[in-house]
A and B are shown apart, each in its own frame.
Chain A
């Protein structure tokens, strides 16, 4: 216990809190289905079934009643976070491997909910990203760029068999007009490597005047859900605000220093997992810092790391790596930054 008395508690059970967070994800998920196709639904279903199965398996192995632990909804949340993070048309086994790793190894082997050092969804994501870089970096283009979206049966065939019934692979179906399956952040990095300036890169079809097409809508939807979380007091404002502030400050600074090589603020904030991360992933109560000042430091640290990884790193999006690195720092943050003990002068 790091914080001091009086322990003012919100009278909410863990399961209720988890459920609120899951509900707050819904606007983002709807936006993602709208922009990136029905694959998202299938991935969600796969991930949730797999997460509940793994959770029950471990509880049975530990000779506990699985139904009590399944009801805390934490497996549901982990599954949903991972399912919206991976590319919507990934093969089924990718989701299964990621979710099993998250639940069994990252969460349960460390002692279950409340004992995990790392954010389970992000550790699962990093496992997949390191192991299967090609699959994990090929996102489908946004709806606006595609002549016709895949139907739900086509999406199902692609995910389960790897081909549609007509025998086309994902790449053949989606890159008709020569669109690559790169994410906007990826495209930006490739563009810079080809010594284009940032104003030339955002002339590409995948960028709008306000951020990357499709991604900006999804990110705004996650922002909406996140604001709902803060208003319903499910999370505190400290982590998202300090994260977004530090990321924005660094982006603006880099634009002053090197305007031709740096990502604009709208792209930085509205692409990749920025908003999902800010409100849903960083705020995981188990693996984040526990005091309010600590939370500010934690958020700012992740903002810095995301900026560094996106700018100089080998992987296009850095939220998952940044979160895991900051998770490691949490014990130190909690050790040095504590709230003043009630009734004592500093």
Chain B
């Protein structure tokens, strides 16, 4: 029996690929300069992860140990190609924005890591759920980074969401502040590292606070001297 709650906790919090395992940092830091880019890459990674986990789990009894890595990579590459072509067809501008980072999903360690560590050893149902949760955990980190950096560096939130969602999404844009001089650093690579550092610190701080709260309170029981004497 598989413990779905544990898988969800692993993917979203305890073993979050973005801020705990620190996998896939290159796309994570490179494309999160706006919310729409972050969501775009997050969704693409999630879909690839889900599909590759399901496929790897289905073929896990047929593939021998010696050739498993090349097979996994081919499976992942096939799905990435599908996603790339789909994005090219339906969200062309976003596809141009993300550029090389879509084909590079193939090399994202999260995907091959989950295929090897989880999908190759578990049932299809559990593997699918794991892929979904890991993808969601990664996507959420991307989303938070993208939002923070967009607000700091461009003064807007959810700008040009129409690239992903169609024309109606143009209304989603919120102007947080308006100025001739914006904190340009936030949308440049150093800003990604700084915001990421703060995210990891926040996660560790929350963990520490939770740990100290859940620790059983030590109750000092008065020693009953009468009993001994």
Contacts and interface: CB of A to CB of B under 8 A. Distances in A.
Interface of A: 97, 105, 127, 130-135
B215 interface: no
A97 B180 CA distance: 16
Interface residues of B, number: 10
B84 to A, nearest CB: 33
Nearest to B179: A93
A130 B185 contact: yes
Q: Interface centre among A97, A127, A134, by most B CB within 10 Å?
A: A127
B183 A131 contact: yes
Contacts of A132: 181, 184
Interface in B149-202: 180-186, 188, 190, 194
| Chain A contact surface mostly | helix
Contact of B181 (A127, A130, A134): A134
Contacts of B188: 130
B194 A130 contact: no
Nearest to B201: A109
Nearest to A136: B181
Q: Interface centre among B181, B182, B186, by most A CB within 10 Å?
A: B181
Contacts of B184: 130-133
Contacts of B185: 127, 130-131
Contacts, number: 19
19 contacts: A97-B183, A105-B194, A127-B185, A130-B184, A130-B185, A130-B188, A130-B190, A131-B181, A131-B182, A131-B183, A131-B184, A131-B185, A131-B186, A132-B181, A132-B184, A133-B184, A134-B180, A134-B181, A135-B181
A189 to B, nearest CB: 21
A13 to B, nearest CB: 32
Nearest to B152: A131
A50 B105 CA distance: 44
Given A97-B183, A131-B183, 5 more contacts: A105-B194, A130-B190, A131-B181, A132-B181, A134-B181
A105 B201 CA distance: 13
Contacts of A131: 181-186
A279 B181 CA distance: 32
A100 to B, nearest CB: 12
Q: Interface centre among B180, B185, B190, B194, by most A CB within 10 Å?
A: B185
Contacts of B183: 97, 131
B11 to A, nearest CB: 29
Contacts of A97: 183
Contacts of B186: 131
A131 B179 CA distance: 13
A22 to B, nearest CB: 28
A37 B190 CA distance: 34
A58 B175 CA distance: 31
A132 B190 CA distance: 15
Q: Interface centre among A97, A105, A132, A133, by most B CB within 10 Å?
A: A132
Nearest to B153: A131
Q: Interface centre among A130, A131, A134, A135, by most B CB within 10 Å?
A: A131
Nearest to A91: B181
Nearest to B186: A131
A222 B25 CA distance: 44
A135 B182 CA distance: 11
